[in-house]
Amino acid sequence: MKQKIGNIALVVNDYDEAIDFYVNKLKFDLIEDTKLTSKKRWVLIAPKGSNETRILLAKADSEEQINSIGNQSGGRVFMFLFTDNFEREFENLKLNNVTIVRKPVKEPYGKVLVFSDLYGNLWDLIQPKE
């Protein structure tokens, strides 16, 4: 049996501001945006060229969820975005004023930097060593 992670839920404050950040600044694809109720939508995004794991933008609807926005991993890096062109992605982050938390470094596994999304969740941008 083959398994894979299909979607990962990311708790957000607002659907439209999250779509704007991920689609317009990070250049992700908007896969689906379906209204489910007057307050709830099914919003899927994915990095360009990705056909495996997607991110479900889930609007917080309780105090506990609201308190987790931007800190879903307790202050650790939460998401790992792999790229085949580190310099292109780094320039895009700078161009779109995305906060770089840790400047680019070369590690044994490849080039990496840490950035934060619009809510403060930490992401690694990684170009793996070939």
> In the block, which residue shows the tokens 């790992």?
80
Report percent pLDDT > 70 for the chain.
Answer: 100
What's the pTM?
Answer: 0.93
Structural domains present in the chain: 1-69 (3.10.180.10), 71-129 (3.10.180.10)
130 pLDDT band, cuts 50/70/90, is: confident
Residue 2's pLDDT is 87
8 pLDDT band, cuts 50/70/90, is: very high
84 pLDDT band, cuts 50/70/90, is: very high
Cα Rg, the chain, nearest whole Å: 15
Give the amino acid at 7. N
Helix (H) or strand (E) holding 43: strand 41-46
Helix (H) or strand (E) holding 100: strand 100-107
Please tell me what DSSP assigns to residue 98. Answer: P
Mean residue pLDDT across the chain: 96
Residue 52's pLDDT is 86
The tens digit of pLDDT for each residue in 91-121 reads 999 999 999 999 999 999 999 999 999 999 9
**Above 90 in pLDDT, residue 60?**
yes
